[in-house]
Amino acid sequence: SEGGAEPAAGAPPGRTPGDRALDAFLRLIADKGFAAVARRDVAQEAGLGFAELYGLHSDKVSLVASFMARIDAEVLAGTPSVIDAEETARDRLFDVMMRRYDSLKPHREAMRALRIAALRDPLLGLAIGPAVRRSMAAMLEAASIPSDGLGGALRQNGLLVIHQAVSRVFDKDETDDLSKTMASLDSRL
């Protein structure tokens, strides 16, 4: 039914409709690519009515932003509350970004699909830009590096450039410890 579909078969108990929608979206874009996935597909895969999905996410960009926020939350949960005075800003940022890649590891195919879609569709790239900037700002702040003002904007853009380059290595890094990703991040920081 339109308003209250049954939960998707195999959906973990206790998952919110928003979690189910995001999980379904990630599975679908990993399998089919971003452009081939319609919101109706996401609703059906998540066991939601289309109206319910629309109330949660009015477009696919909202789902992308929700995914980035989920990854940010996972990374930030591992951020120590007290900064080690002996650690450099570079070391803290390295640790934060590696936590990010660890969180992204189960979603590698979905990330690849998003990256390809943004390269093919510049309007999509522009639409998800604010969410990406928020993520980069959060990563800087987690490393106790200011992300506000003009200097912060420059740092966000610099980290984004590094992240884009390292992500291409991450896409192909099949090592358990992400050693290739670590080496790429280390050399670029």
Q: What is the pLDDT of residues 64-110, one digit of tens each?
A: 999 999 999 999 999 988 888 889 999 999 999 999 999 999 999 99
Helix (H) or strand (E) holding 125: helix 122-142
CA pseudo-torsion sign 169, 72, 61, 153: negative
Closest Cα partner for 30 from 101, 99, 116, 125? 116
Percent of the chain with pLDDT over 90: 88
pLDDT of residue 84: 85
Checking if the pLDDT of 1 tops 60, the result is: no
- Mean pLDDT across the chain, nearest whole number? 91
pLDDT of 4 over the 50 cut: no
**pLDDT at position 13, please?**
54
Of the candidates 80, 87, 38, 44, the one whose C-alpha atom is nearest the C-alpha of residue 63 is 38
Q: What's the pLDDT at 14?
A: 61
CA 90 to chain centre: 22
The reported pLDDT for the residue numbered 103 is 96
- Please report the pLDDT score of residue 5 as a whole number: 47
Is the per-residue pLDDT at 16 higher than 60?
A: yes
